[in-house]
Structure formats: structure tokens, C-alpha cells
Structure 1
Amino acid sequence: MPHRRRPSTVSLVWLARGVGAALALAAVVGMGFLTWQSRNEALEAAEERSHLIARVLEDHATQTVESAALALTTVGDGIRGQSAIDAAHVSQMLGQMLLAQPGLREAALLSESGQIIASSAGHLPGSLVRLAEWGPLPVGDGKATLMHLQPGRGLLEGRRAQRIDQVAYLPLVMPFQMHARRFYLVAAINPDALANYQQGVAEPEWHAALFSYQGQLLAATTEFPLKPGSWHQAHRLFREWLPAHAIGDRQEPAFGDSQQVLTYRVSRSRPMVVVVVQERSRLLTDWRDDLWLNAGALLVMELLILGGMAATLRALSTRAQAQRVLDEAYAKLSASEQEMALVLRSIQELIFRTDADGQLVFVNARWALVTREPTEKILGRKMSTLVAPADRAQVERLFSDAAPDGVRHAEVSVPVSPGELRRFSLAVVPLMTGSRIDGFAGSAVDVTERYEAEARLQQQLHLVALLLELSPQPVSMVDREGCYVTVNRAWEDFTGRHRDEVVGRPVDRHLPECGMEPPTSDWVPMEGIEGQSLLRYETQFYDRNRDCRDVVLSKVVVPGDEMGPAGVLFTLTDVSEFRRAERATTEAKEAAEEASRVKSEFIANMSHELRTPLQSIIGYSELGRSRGEATCPKLSAMFGDIHDSGRRMLDLVNDLLDVSALESGVGTFSLERCDLRPCITAVVRELKPLMAHRRLTLEMSQAPEPLVARVDPLRFQQVIRNVLANAIRFSPEGSAITVRSIRRSQGEAHLAIMDRGPGIPEPELERIFEAFVQSSATSTGAGGTGLGLAISRKIMTALGGRIHAENRPGGGAVFHVLMPLGVVAEI
């Protein structure tokens, strides 16, 4: 039998090492692939969280601005309902608006020049607000617009030199017309409220900010790298990303040098952009923590693959780890000893020891710093000689044999320099040998700041009590057991009861609600308010004269100790006069709306009734004119006059139907996103034959970029048609008409239609947009019903745009049509 040669041990070792190395390499590659995949999943999850946070913050910012704009509209409607502006009444309305808008700091009614007419903050009428620093003011009527962020806490604080990144406000301006004058309703939005909400919603590792569409930072969380009020128009977010997409995300160094995950979202109705960013390295923290688990798994796999080498490696690893633990223990012990030595050397208390008579035999180094005397001059003196004369008897009692055993306390004043007293809290313990006192050991703590703070606190408490007593609002406080703690004078005047009758007694029927039989009180403490910091609602109470009053009842929990709140503080705000005015306004508005509806129905019905006979008149007149051309030209001319009059009458009826439809607002608009340039071109092409008939030339230029807006194309073309037809009708033969469209920096499409006609008298530039009104310079038989421009303004107002006219230098008129644009998108 031939001898089989066995492989050598060295070969088996190398083979095992080769197989083990191959398996170990495969394990490393597989674990690396899984780790990279988990990293990508972590980044995707972070992007989803960022989108959710951005959506929540965008919704809150939009709702805050829209709520403030709606409140301004409501106040504006209330002002328009007045025959003349009552500054006191308007200030009261603005104050009530601020109560319902926690995100506002101040509201005011300003003249066109910026003078304050009425203010919720009680500013003097006539105070000037610098409107020019807010940016381009809005025009038109009733459209609230956000301006630039301003420094200061209110409208007039911006006069003082303040840093905008420390305290600022965001003006929201709504222009409106009244009695042929322009006014501005202004609400100062508190950007800190937006920042606090961002701070609460954003997760700890996320930073959020709110920018204007022009690139100004309005509000941000505390760790956001940019300062509020700064401008960043050159940032890629505003130059490249926003013009392409309203919502997006990026992973690049957006605000800083490191890689970041950034998500932005444009407000759905306001020129604002919400940005949420985070360092990508921080987002991958959990992923890096998981790397230890992956490394542990890889280590186990490697240990299993290496086989016999695992025991040795494990032993060496355990020994090394034990050595590290031991070294760390030694290091911690050394550090603890050093810290204890530093604590003993830097102790802030005065440590001392006396003999049985109270003479000092030992003091620490802190004594020399406090008393400003060498230690040698202090030793041997009695403790009572170091304090103020008024406290010496109290110190002597600390060292007497008759004092009780244990720790003895006293609080004394010590003169440390001429005219300067410091307050110290002394603690003395007798040192006993059997029943005999050999000495005393003690310490003294400087409590001067606390003593002075308690004195200031007492002054503040007296001030608060005085303010509470002088408050015009009824105020009371109820403890947790349901008994009155205090009431002010206004509460006594409202209820007709003296405080001596209620303080310390349970709440009963002191404030019965109107209409409740038997009368009950809504002031049961803690009911309906547990778990809340503030509860406010409106109800009705009987006053001392049994008159039913509309009041706003506010309940706020007064913090207490660990047992729970100390009680509830109640305030009453009498809003009876406001509610009466509100009800009267509502009734007047409903009556006006009913009258307008009846008028619209009458016009619509009459217009429909007139269209049928007019169609017959026009048809028969066309037939008579065509047949009379060959037989009787004079008769044909008469039928032609009838035909022209019928057409003008039909145009008037159609215009009346348009006015009726626009005023009713039902089914008249079909909004869609479209480019405005093709709409303009189509109308110009439609009216070219009419321009050729009057030998007019057209100069037309369109914006090179798309003018995308949300409009009803047919209604928008009707506006252009009315304006361009007027320009053709009143332009001299052989003259030129200019049509130009551009994109303005304010995010608006601007269409200008210019002619060389007779122009418009300055006092009539606004009246020509009223129904059945024509300019005195053009109402010379050129035709028209006087409804085209009125219809055009109603359409532009409904679409959110504006239209106005002005005279052209050198003769003629210019009609400006402005339409807000949305984010540019592919059409």
C-alpha cells in the first residue's frame, strides 16, 4: 500500500488563514454594504421629517398672517361703516383685535403720510411712522401686504437705534379708501411668536427660519446661523431654487461650510418661504451609534471565523480593557482629589472658631477678603465687636451658656468699609467636653444680595397690589379650596359687594350669569381649566344694577408648590358696547346686502326681458337696410340708424348682465394657472381690424419670461378688450397705441396700454371706474355705455389684481393692469 503524504501543519495553517481571511473579507464587504444602505435610509427619513416640519411651520406662518389680514379687513369694514372716523372708537376696535390675535404686538390706523390716527398702544395722534423704510407700500383697496422687517418693538420704537436681530416687528399694511382719502391699517406682527412656534415644532437637531420672498430673514430658531432682518437675495435659494420649484430640498452647504439637509416651502398665499436645515453630520448621529452594533456583529463574525485565535484575541482584549478601566479609575481618583482640594481652598463661606467667651481663635482666608483687614487683627477679638451695634446683643446671645444646644442661628449686618454694610447669616455650634463648653465652631454666609432682593420683592409686591387696585377691569383670585383671596375696587364696583364680605369665604353667586334660573356662578375654581395655563371665553353677567353685561372672562392658573396650583386669577372685560355696535353693524350689513341682491335681480330680469325684443329689432333693421340699399337709400339709412341704436342698446344690456353677474359672484369665474402673454396677444389680434379701420399703428412688446398667474382667461381678456377698445375709440386717426407687458420685481405682471387721445382730467381718474360714468374729455358722442371700465375693475378686484389710469406726458392716457404672479412653473 503506497504511503499517502499528509499536508504539513504549516500548509494547513496557511490554508486556514487564507480561508479565514477570505471569509473575514467577505464579512467586512457585506457589513460595509449594509452600513451604507442604512446610512441612505437615515438620510431619507431625515428628509421626510424635514418636509413634515416645513409643512407645519408654513401652515402656521400663513395662518398667522391671514388671520391678521382678516382682522384688519374686519376693522376696515367697521371703519367704513362710520360716517366719520372716530379715533377713540377705532382705537378700541384695534385693541379688541389684539386681544383675539396673540401673534400681534400693535395695530394702528395711519394717514397716507404715515401720521397715527388711532392706535391700540395709545400713541399720540399725529405721531409720524416712517413708512418709507417699510418698502414699497401697497396700492388699491382692501389688500393686506407684508412689508420689510423693522427694528423695534412697536411702530414708534423704530426711531431709536436698535438692532433688528434683537427686537423687531413685521408690518402688515392694508390700504383702503374712505371719503376720497387713502388710509393704511397696520398690524405689527410679532416675529418672536413665529420663532417660538418654530422652536417648539422643530426637533432639537433641526433649525427653522422664515424668509420673505425677496430674501429677508423674518424669524428663526435660536441656533439658526443667520440673524433676523438680514438680506440674502444673492443666495442660491432665491436666485435658482425658488424660481424653479415652490417646494424642494437640497443636500449641500446651504447656510454654512458643512454639508446640510435643507428643505424649503413657499407659503400658499403670502410671499414667504419656510426653510428647515440641519447638519448632515448630526442627522447621522444615530447611524454612527448603530455602527458600534454593526462593528460588534462584525467582530463576532470575525471571532467565529478565526476560530482558535478568538480565545487569544478575547483574552488580550479583556486584559487591555481591564487595564484601561484601571487607568480610568486612577485618573478619576486623582481628579477627585484635585477637585476636593480646590473646593476646600475656594470655599466662599467664612469659617471661624472661638473660645468659650466668643473670642476668635481661627478664621479662614476668606475673612481677609470680606472684612478687608489682615487676619492678625481679627484674631483675639470678640465676634460681637465685628458686627453693627444694633446686632451685638443678638450675637452675644449666640455665645451664652443659656442658649439651647445644637446649631444656633442669627442674621446680622457687618460693616466692611465706611458707609458699606454686608448682611451675613451666622451658624454657631458649641464644642462640648462632657457638659462643659470649650468653644464654638461656626460659619457665616454672605446673604446681602438675597436680603436686598427680598426688600426689592416687597416693593414689587406693594407695586403689584397698587396696580391691581387701580386696574379698571374687575379682578379677583380664588384659592385651590374655592375661597376668595383678593378682589380689587373695580370688582367691588361691578358686583356691588365689599371685599370684607367675600375675602376668605367660598365662591357663591356673586356673579350670576344672565338667563340662568336659579342664578349660578361660573367662578368655580379649577373647573374646566386644569391642565391649561389660560382659559378665555365670552359670557354674560348681571352687574350691581341687575343689568345684563357682555363680558370676556379670563381664567389663569396661579403657580403654586408641589401640591398643585395656588389658585385661579379671574379678570373681566366689559365688551357690551362693542357687542352692541357689532350687532348693529351686522344688521346694517345684512340690510345692504339684501338691497344689493334685489337690485341685481331686478337688473338681471330687466336685461333678460330686453334682449328678446332687441334681437328682433336688430334682425329686422338689418333686413330693411339690406333691401333698401337698392330701392330706397334714404329708407336704408333710417334702418341703419335703427340698427346702430339697437346694437348700442344690446351692448348696454350685456354690460348690465355682466355687472349683475359680477355683483352676485355666483358661477362667474373659472380660475386656472396660465401665462398672461398669450391672452394679451389674442385680444390684440382680435382688435387689429378695428385699428386698421382707424389707421392706427400698434407698438407692442411682451416680457421675455412667462407671466404665470392664477386667473380666469376669458375674464382677463375681457378687461384687456375693454381698455384697448377705449384706446382705439378715443385715439386720433393715424396715431399710435402702445401695449407693453413686463414682470415687476414685486412679483407682479404689469400691462400698460397707452394712447394719444384727449386724456382724462385729474379729478376724474378714479371716477371713470364707476358705473355709467365717462370722462368729460371723451364723452362727446364717441360711444360707450360707461360700464366697461367699471366691469374691468370689478373683474380685477375679484382676481386679486388692480387697474388704474393716469395721464401720459405729451397727451393721452395710460391704463395700468397689475396682476400678482405665482411661482414660475412649466406651462
Structure 2
Amino acid sequence: MLKKKSRRTAEEIIKDTRETTDVQRHIALLKAGALQNAILTSANFSIIATDEKGIIQLFNVGAERMLGYTAAEVVNRISPSDIHDPHEVTARAQALTGELGTVIAPGFEALVYKASRGMEDIYELTYICKDGSRFPAIISITPLRDDYGSIIGYLLIGTDNSVRKRVEVELNLAMDAAEKANRAKSDFLSSMSHELRTPLNAILGFAQLVDSGLPAPTPLQKRSVDQIMKAGWYLLELINEILDLSLIESGRLTLSREPVSLMEVLLECRAMIEPQADKRGIRMSFPRIDIPYYVKADRTRVKQVLINLLFNAIKYNRPSGAVAVECALCPPHAMRISVRDTGFGLTEEQRGQLFQPFNRLGKEASTEEGTGIGLVVTKRLVELMGGTIGADSAVGVGSVFWMELPLTEAPALAEREMDFLPEVELPLSEDLPVHTLLYVEDNPANLELVEQLVARRRDLRLITAADGIIGVEFARTYMPKIILMDINLPGISGIDAMKILHADPLTAHIPIIALSANAVPRDIARGIEAGFFDYITKPIKVDHFMATLDAGLAFSQLADRDAATTTECTE
């Protein structure tokens, strides 16, 4: 009895399994049919199927809605290429011909060529509706194959791309508008910088003359001149920082990332900063670097960053405090440069507000002047050079500001090149030869300032010209040893005048130094690239001005010596 009952149960199980499988198959077919029906009746996608010759065999509801045709109007009548822009179909055939090295005929073949060879193909084309209107579409093409792999037709699934195209156009227009606004802002700042620097040149230039002139100013005059120069240099610092910040934010600041000797930069910064520290009674210490490390950065901007950090460490230090510069390797391939001070330190809240524009962390009422921009510019410069910057601080102990820059290899032939630099010394005897200096400038105050500066040089005789054309003629007539050239001149610009002189064999050897209030980095780079020997920005710093004249004279003397040697060899 038990065996018989067990046998019937097995038969029942087999029967139940078959019934279940049939039900599952039926459900699957219903689902497949529902899915197929949903796809074919979708109003959001155009679905077009063709035979192997490209004649439309299926035209779904979405295609009817998008294109305005009924299925009866197109099935067995036209090809999909007939409802695409013909110029785009021709262009696609040409592009495929160049891409695949096979001549592709315009028409349906151009639409399906890649898909028919098993390559995925999605492209953008313009659909032409029954009423003649057009809209952009994204089309995907898939070949339809039989059980033997032969192509029996093609399936084209398309979607309206009008919204995305409209957004792209609007975005491009917005980007163009933003670009124009950035250019306008940069041009405005450049113009503003020029206009502010021109009067500042007179203010600071004549103040330096009075301060260092003979007879020496009285103590009361000295205090007044010091206040003039202090306010003038502070205003110049503000102009520079606002200009830098604007250029960085607009993406127009250009950097030249190259191997920079860490030892050389620190030595230059030390020479610039120690006199300021001595005035305030701040002790300075710099690391001794025995191994020549190089960081990949912009040399000028690295100095700018370090000078700013050092000035802040001195400015906000305790009386008779100390500032220490430290260098440490930071794995895997970076160098950390730290500036440690013995100031009053920062609270946690103040540290969180670092690197915010125009935020002086409560120092607004202090006697120390500042703009609240320097650290913002410093941070963004470091990041643009591929580095990082940060700060640690403890109230009552002091602060450490640090930056990390990537290490790099030393430049090729760096040491050998130094061995071949010409050593030119100006004569030191009492009977100095007098050289002619031509200054091309139309601003009377600038002319008078340079006249008084050059009057202190027994080795220079100054002649002036008020515009570029006269400057060119004076250069050809007087053959000066060196030329100072303003950029914005009446008639022709200083750059055009310089190019004329460089093109003339008689004057091509004369070093021409730009002396201009155009101080935007791109203007300076453009001037150097154009061929100026050097570029001095206004307001003039007297020491830098004199050193540049000395360099120009040394170059001129070297050129004269080479010319004389060439003449002797020829004779």
C-alpha cells in the first residue's frame, strides 16, 4: 500500500511540474508581448525598422508623433534617409569614407554602414517632419539578423534632442558672456592699474629723491616723507594684490612651471626680508641647504608667496621675537617650507577664517596695515603651482605657515651655464665715460623724475623724446647706449618703436628697457616676448631702476666689445 501511494505521488508531482512550466511559459510570453507592445507604442521614442534594403517596415507611435507621418504613409514606401537632413547624410558618408578608408555612398548606406559591420553606432542627425519642420535627434542603429547571422533589416531607435541642444546653446551663450565679462574686467583692472600707477610713480619717485637727496631732509621733513612713502607703497601693495586676485579668479594668470632652485630663492628672500626684520628687532634664521633641491614652480610666484609669509611673520610678531624658516622632505616627492613665528598665535575660530578675502582676523584696529588679500592670493598661487598650503597655531606660542611644492630634477646644464656667463664690470675710476641715455616718455612728471634720478649718475647723459616717432629718430641720430621706452605713447606705441629700432641694423644692438605703468603680468610677459631687454614697472623703485640701467650698460659694452673684435678679425 505504501509503495502504491508513493508511485501516485510521483506522477502527480510530474504533472504538477508540467502544468507549472506551462503557466510560467505563458506568463513569460504575456510579459514579452506586453514589453514589446510597450516599446512599440512608446510615444517618447521613435522606433523604425527596415528590411535589408533600407525600406521602412515598422513605424511606431513615437515616430508618428515626432515626425507627423502615419505608418501607412511610410511603410514599404521610403527609407529613413529620406526623412533626415540630406546635407548631414552626405557629410556623414564623407566622414565615414575618411574614417574607414572605404567609399560610402550618401543615403541609407551611410546611416547603417558601421552597424552592419558589428560596430556600435550612435549619432546625431536632424529629422525632417512631414510639415517641413526640423528637430535634432540622437539615433541608435542595430542590425537585425536571422538564425544564420544574415542581416534581414535594421532597427533605428531615436529620441528628440531639442531640449539638450537648447540647453547647450544657452550654456555656450552664458559661457561666452562670462568670458566677455572676464575680459572686460581684466581690461578694466589693467587700465585702472595703469592709471593709478602713473601718479603713484611721481609720488613715490620724488619722495625717494627727497629722502635720499642732499642736503638731507630735516627730522620733521624726514617723518613727513616716511609717511608719504609708507602710504604710497601700501597703496601699491593693495593695487597689486587686487590685480593678482582678479587674474587668478578669472583664470587669466599665467604661470611658468619649471625647476626652481630652493637655495637660490631662499637666499633672495633672505636678502629682501632681513632689513625689515632688523628694523623691528626680529631675529631671523634660515636653513642651511647642502643638497641642491629643485621644486617645480613659477620662480617669481614662489618668491612672492615666501615674501608674503615672511612679512606677515615679522609684522604680527612679538617685540624682539623670532622667525625661523624650515625645510623638510615630505614623502613621497615634495618639499615642505615652513615659516615659524613667536607671535601671539591664532584661536581655532581664527584659523578657520584664514585665507578668506578681506578678513584680517580682528587686526583691523591694529597699527599694522594690511589688506586681508595677501593670504588669499598666496593660497591660490600655491595651488596653481600644484602645491598645498596650511597653518598650525597655538595661542600664546606662535604660528607656523607652511607650503608643500613638488620636487623635480635639476635643469640640464644648470651648473655649466653659470660658468659661461660673461663677467662685465663697469669702470670704477673717477673719470667715468659718459654714455647717452634716451628716454621716450610723454608724461612731464615721469620725465622730470627720471631726469633727477639720472642727474645722480656721472656716467650718464639724458636726452628725451615726447613720442615714439621722435624717439626713433633720436635713437638713429644720437646712437644712445641704452633706451628707456614708455609703452603708451602718442603716435606709435613703445612696442612698435622698439620693433622699428630692432629692425634697423644701426640700432638693433641697443638694449631697450620698457618703463611703463602697464604692470599686469600678461603685459610684462608680452613686452619681454616682443624684445625688450627688461621691463620696469611704475612706480619706480630707485635701487631696482639703477641696477637695471647698470645691467643695460653692461650688455651694451659687451655688444660693443664683440663688435670691435669682429671688426679686427675682418681686417
Aligning the two structures, in what range does the TM-score lie when normalised by the shorter sequence? 0.5 to 0.7
Is the contact between residue 49 and residue 153 of structure 2 (CA under 8 Å) also seen in structure 1? yes
Distance in 2 (CA, whole Å) between partners of 1:420 and 1:707 is 83
Q: How does 1:82-121 map to 2 (within 5 A)?
A: none
Does 1 or 2 have the higher relative contact order (CA < 8 Å, sep 6+)? 2
- Counterpart secondary structure, 1:784: coil
- CA separation in 2, counterparts of 1:417 and 1:766? 82
Corresponding residue number in structure 1 for 2:13 = 419
Match of 2:346 among 751, 759, 767: 759
Name which of 639, 646, 664 aligns with 2:232: 646
- Render the CA deviation track for 1:185-208: whole Å, top value 9, x for unaligned: xxxxxxxxxxxxxxxxxxxxxxxx
- Letter of the 1:474 counterpart: S
| Alpha-carbon distance change, 581 to 610 in structure 1, aligned in 2, over 3 angstroms | same
Q: Residue 369 of structure 2: SS of its match in structure 1?
A: coil
- Count of aligned residue pairs for this structure pair: 387
Give the structure 1 partner of residue 33 of structure 2. 462
**What is the CA–CA distance in structure 1 between the aligned matches of 2:340 and 2:385, rounded to whole Å?**
23
Question: Helix, strand or coil for the counterpart of 1:641?
Answer: helix
The one-letter code of the counterpart of 1:478 is T
Range moving further from structure 2, 457-466 or 611-620: 457-466
For 1:222, the equivalent position in structure 2 comes to: none
Q: By how many angstroms is 1:715 displaced?
A: 1.5
Q: 1:704 to 1:610 in 2, by over 3 A?
A: same
C-alpha separation between the residues in 2 aligned to 1:540 and 1:806? Answer: 60
| Residues 612 and 576 (structure 1), Cα distance of their counterparts in 2 relative to 1, 3 Å cut | same
Aligned to 1:491: 63
2-structure distance, mates of 1:823, 1:725: 30
Shift of 1:730: 1.2
- Counterparts of 1:67-78 in structure 2, within 5 Å, are none
Deviation at 1:653, TM superposition (A): 4.0
Q: Which digits, 9 at most, give the CA deviation of each residue in 1:421-464, with x for residues without a partner?
A: 799xxxxxxxxxxxxxxxxxxxxxxxxxx999998985774365
List runs of 5+ in structure 1 lacking aligned partners.
1-414, 424-449
- The equivalent of 2:45 in structure 1 is 473
Distance 1:421 1:713, change over 3 A: farther
Give the secondary structure class of the aligned counterpart of 1:568.
strand
Distance in 1 (CA, whole Å) between partners of 2:332 and 2:71 is 60
Q: What is the match of residue 669 of structure 1?
A: 255
Q: Which amino acid aligns with 2:53?
A: E
Distance 2:156 2:409 in 1: 49
TM-superposition CA deviations, 1:487-515 (whole Å, max 9, x none): 44433332344446545554367744499
Once residues 512 and 478 of structure 1 are traced to their aligned partners in structure 2, the CA distance between those partners, rounded to angstroms, is: 15
Q: Post-superposition shift, 1:606?
A: 3.1
Deviations 1:740-792 (Å, cap 9, x if unpaired)?
4445457554444343345378378457443x553333562312344433332
Listed one character per residue, the Cα deviations across residues 627-662 of structure 1 (whole Å, up to 9, x for unaligned) are 588673223322222232233233334445545665
Partner of 1:694: 280
Per-residue CA distance 1:654-697 (angstroms, 9 max, x = gap): 44554566567678422213565664565356423433433334
Please state if 1:556 is matched with 2:142.
yes
SS in 2 for 1:420: helix
For normalisation by structure 1, the TM-score amounts to 0.39
The 8 Å contact of residues 748 and 818 in structure 1, kept in 2 or not, is answered as: yes
Structure 2, unpaired ranges of 5+: 1-8, 90-105, 415-571
In structure 2, distance between residues paired with 1:460 and 1:707 = 71
Structure 1 residues 685 and 635, CA gap change in structure 2 (3 angstroms): closer
- 1:480 to partner: Cα distance: 0.9
In the other structure, the counterpart of 2:507 is none
2:136 match: secondary structure: strand
Partner residue in 2 for 1:591:
177
Provide the rounded CA distance (Å) in 2 between the counterparts of 1:668 and 1:619. 29
SS in structure 2 of the partner of residue 538 of structure 1 = strand
RMSD: 4.8
Partner of 1:605: 191
Contact 1:703 / 1:743 at 8 angstroms: preserved in 2?
Answer: no
- After TM superposition, give the deviation of residue 625 of structure 1 in Å: 3.5
User: 2:269, 2:154 → 1: CA distance?
Assistant: 68
Q: 1:417 to 1:737 in 2, by over 3 A?
A: farther
Question: 2 CA distance for matches of 1:565 and 1:629?
Answer: 102
Letter in structure 1 aligned against 2:194? H
Q: Distance in 2 between matches of 1:676 and 1:663?
A: 27
Q: Aligned in 2, Cα 1:583/1:697: closer, same or farther, shift over 3 Å?
A: same
Residue 604 of structure 1 deviates from its aligned partner by 1.9
Distance 2:310 2:275 in 1: 13
Structure 2 equivalent of residue 567 of structure 1: 153
Letter in 1 for 2:231: S
Cα distance in 1 for partners of 2:288, 2:108 equals 68
Correspondent of 1:711 among 288, 297, 314:
297
> Any idea what SS the aligned residue of 1:492 has?
helix
**TM-score, normalising length: structure 2:** 0.54
Cα separation, 2, equivalents of 1:721 and 1:503: 78
Q: What is residue 381 of structure 2 aligned with on the other side?
A: 795
**Is 1:526 aligned to 2:98, yes or no?**
no
Counterparts in 2 of 1:582 and 1:421: CA distance versus 1, 3 Å: same
Quote the Cα distance in structure 2 between the aligned partners of 1:529 and 1:564: 13
The aligned amino acid for 1:420 is I
1:725 aligns with 2:311: yes
Alignment deviations for residues 132-191 of structure 1 (CA, whole Å, 9 cap, x no partner): xxxxxxxxxxxxxxxxxxxxxxxxxxxxxxxxxxxxxxxxxxxxxxxxxxxxxxxxxxxx
Contact 1:514/1:548 (<8 A) preserved: no
Identity of counterpart residues, as a percentage? 24
CA distance in 1, matches of 2:139, 2:372: 54
Matched residue, 2:127 = 541
Query: Contact 2:67/2:127 (CA < 8 Å) preserved in 1?
Result: no
* Whole-angstrom CA distance in 2 between matches of 1:763 and 1:470: 64
- Could you report, residue by residue, the CA deviation over 1:572-617 in whole angstroms, capped at 9, with x for unpaired residues? 2333222222222222222222222222222223323443443333
CA deviation map 1:46-66 (0-9, x unaligned):
xxxxxxxxxxxxxxxxxxxxx
Tell me the distance in 2 between the aligned counterparts of 1:474 and 1:747. 56
Shift of 1:720: 1.7
- Tell me how far 1:705 sits from its aligned partner: 9.0
Please tell me whether the aligned partners of residues 296 and 405 of structure 2 are also in contact (alpha carbons under 8 angstroms). Answer: no
Counterpart residue identity of residue 177, structure 2:
A
Q: Aligned equivalents of 2:119 and 2:307: distance in 1?
A: 59
Residues in 2 aligned to 1:557 and 1:467: alpha-carbon distance in whole angstroms: 21
> What are the within-5 Å matches in structure 2 for residues 10-159 of structure 1?
none
Q: Distance in 2 between matches of 1:483 and 1:515?
A: 20
Matched residue, 2:166: 580
SS at match of 1:737: strand
Residue number in structure 2 paired with 1:636: 222
Aligned residues of 1:514 and 1:541 also touching (Cα < 8 A): no
**Partner of 1:716: helix, strand, or coil?**
helix
Cα 1:810–1:638 shift into 2, 3 Å = closer
Asked if 1 retains the 8 angstrom alpha-carbon contact of 2:392 and 2:400, the reply is: yes
For 1:748 and 1:612, locate their aligned partners in 2 and report how far apart those are by CA, in whole Å. 42
C-alpha displacement at 1:709, in angstroms? Answer: 4.5
SS of the residue 1:774 aligns to: coil
